[in-house]
Amino acid sequence: MKYTKFTNCNLIDNGITYFDSELFINNETGKIIDDPKDNANTKIVDLNGKYLAPGLIDIQNNGFFGLNFSNLDGNSSKEDIDEYKRFYNDVMAKFLETGVTGVCPTITSNFAEVYEKVLPILKRSRTNYMTDSLGAHCEGPFISLLKKGCHPTETFVDAKEGSSKIDHVYGDKNFENISIITAAPEIDGIIDIIPYLKSKNIIYSIGHTNADYETGLKAIEQGATMITHLYNAMPQPHHRDPGVLGLINNPITNDAPYFGLICDGIHVDASMASLAYKSHPDKCVLTTDAIFMFGLEDGTYKWDKRNIVKDGFRLCLEGTKTLAGSGTSLIQCVRNLIKWTNIPLAQAIKTATNNAAMSLNLQNQKGFLTVGCDADLIVLDDNCIIQSIYKLGKSIRVNDQNHPGNLIANL
């Protein structure tokens, strides 16, 4: 059949539920369309009153199912790169089963030779069988020593040399493969190169920073449009010294930045997640900050020259309380937000679909149920459990498991 019609469903889009609605897709283009008025070539899918929403988008994710997106370096051979590519395609197909149809593969602070190797592989994609890359998220290495988290300090650099340093670190030929760069605005030279990044269609996100409120405002005035994992790796707010957090609802700039929020119940307390969301719901973007141990069994794993201990969804550097990332699925973060804020399903889904797409300037391609957008879809029940997944209109197996052991066992 050339077309598919979803009927007897409730559409969720832009925070609104459209009850008893229909949606049409063109199976050849994989896009949402108006009613083709061609019953002879239309397949009918009755959703029996369930909710149909855009596929989820994760703007910060360091890896999953054993793959670390940063896992190549200057010594990597052609065989190493070929194996990485095979592994990458495999885990992106598995990750699609969790309902995430688009992701920004994230590379933590690293050396130029790592970006040279991995960024061409993490380039933007559009397929009907695996999670799409929406362009890489380069988290570092222009970040603060005081707010380094788990990032390796030997990779840290400044931008005193201006845009030429950016060109050297990431490779000027790789800019088309980058969607977001997280950097601390107080690092020498960073604020001055924000317009340069913007000219390359790269989103500048404030993160891993010790910047004060005023420095954050300067970054926004220069073109910053995002904050990376709010609350984490930044000064904590005070009522007379709000820090970076104060930017999400500031009365000075024309528009507040989007902000990533890790709602795994570990990185951010429920009350503080609720506070941030309610401060500016239209700019809240749920993200997992997952690392390669997502979907793996509990235990101790090697990461560079260090070890990370996985205990359920909590991932910490061995012997410390320093969080190394998350092991929680994005749909579970959505369910957590519903529980913590008592908001309707449609408004919670918006934070992982519409808001995420808009933060990446992809609202005309992804993350919405509007005509012309890709038919990347999830079907949900009343409890926000994924029932079905469609990638460019193709049905995909579902693996919505909240428990890590169940997640790996179900693969």
Which CATH number covers residue 62? 3.20.20.140
Distance CA 154, CA 314 (A): 26
Q: Please give the residue that has the higher pLDDT: either 313 or 349.
A: 349
Contacts of residue 145, defined as CB under 8 A and 6 or more positions apart, other chains included, come to 153, 156
* Assigned domain for 191 exists: yes
The pLDDT assigned to 98 comes to: 97
CATH code of residue 45: 2.30.40.10
Report the alpha-carbon distance of residue 92 to residue 94 in Å, rounded.
Answer: 5
Q: Give the Cβ contact number of residue 224 at 10 Å.
A: 25
CB 54 within 8 A of CB 28: no
- Tell me the per-residue pLDDT of 1-22, one tens digit each, with 9 for 90 and over: 999 999 999 999 999 999 999 9
pLDDT per residue as tens digits for the range 116-162: 999 999 999 999 999 999 999 999 999 999 999 889 999 999 999 99
With bands split at pLDDT 50, 70 and 90, how would you rate the model's confidence at 255? confident
pLDDT of 226: 98
- Residue 391 sits at φ, ψ, to 5 deg, of -115, 115
What share of the chain has pLDDT > 70, as a percent? 97
- Give the integer Cα–Cα distance in Å for 322 and 232: 11
Q: Is residue 364 part of a domain?
A: no
Please tell me the predicted confidence (pLDDT) of residue 319. 81
To which residue do tokens 């539920």 refer? 17
Q: Are residues 341 and 395 in the same domain?
A: no
Which of 71-75, 85-89, 93-97, 294-298 is the least confident region? 294-298
Determine the distance from the C-alpha atom of residue 53 to the mean position of all C-alpha atoms in its chain, rounded to a whole number: 17
Rg of the chain, C-alpha, whole Å: 21
Tell whether 30 and 96 lie within a shared domain.
no
* Per-residue pLDDT at 401 exceeds 80: no
Please check whether residues 256 and 341 belong to one and the same domain: yes
Mean pLDDT of 391-411: 70
Query: Any bridge partners for residue 154, and if so which?
Result: none
Place of tokens 């989820």: 56
Distance CA 74, CA 38 (A): 55
Residue 220 and residue 329 in one domain: yes
- Angle, to 10 degrees, between the axis of helix 213-222 and the axis of helix 190-199? 30
Does this model's pTM top 0.85? My answer is yes
- Please name the helix (run of DSSP H) or strand (run of DSSP E) that holds residue 198, with its range, or none: helix 190-199
DSSP bridge pairs for 206: 183, 227
Instruction: Looking at the structure, tell me whether residues 46 and 60 fall in a common domain.
Output: no
Asked if residue 387 and residue 295 are part of one domain, the reply reads: no
Residue 107 domain flag: yes
- Judge contact between 400 and 99, C-beta under 8 A: yes
Same domain (yes/no): 376, 322 = no
- Last residue of some domain: 339, 359, 379? 359
Q: Are residues 38 and 114 in the same domain?
A: no
Confidence of residue 320 (pLDDT cuts 50, 70, 90): confident
Interval 67-84: pLDDT, tens? 999 999 999 999 999 999
Q: Are residues 91 and 129 in the same domain?
A: yes
Residues 347 and 220 in one domain: yes
Query: Helix crossing, 270-279 with 330-341: angle to 10°?
Result: 80
Q: In terms of domains, do 62 and 164 share one?
A: yes
> What pLDDT, in 10s, does the model give residues 20-35?
999 999 999 999 999 9
Q: Is residue 365 part of a domain?
A: no
Same domain, 229 and 289: yes
- Domain range for 74: 56-359
Number of domains into which the chain is organized: 2
Residue 366 lies in a domain: no
Within a domain: 400: yes
Dist CA 398 CA 95 (whole Å)? 10
Whether 410 has a pLDDT exceeding 50, the answer reads no
Marked catalytic residue, from 13, 58, 132, 289: 289
Task: Give φ, ψ of 286 to 5 degrees.
Answer: -70, 140
Average pLDDT, the chain: 94
Burial 300-331, CB ≥16 within 10 A → b, else e: ebebeeeebbbeebbbbbeeeeebbbbbbbbb
pLDDT of residue 402: 55
The reply to whether 311 belongs to the active site is no
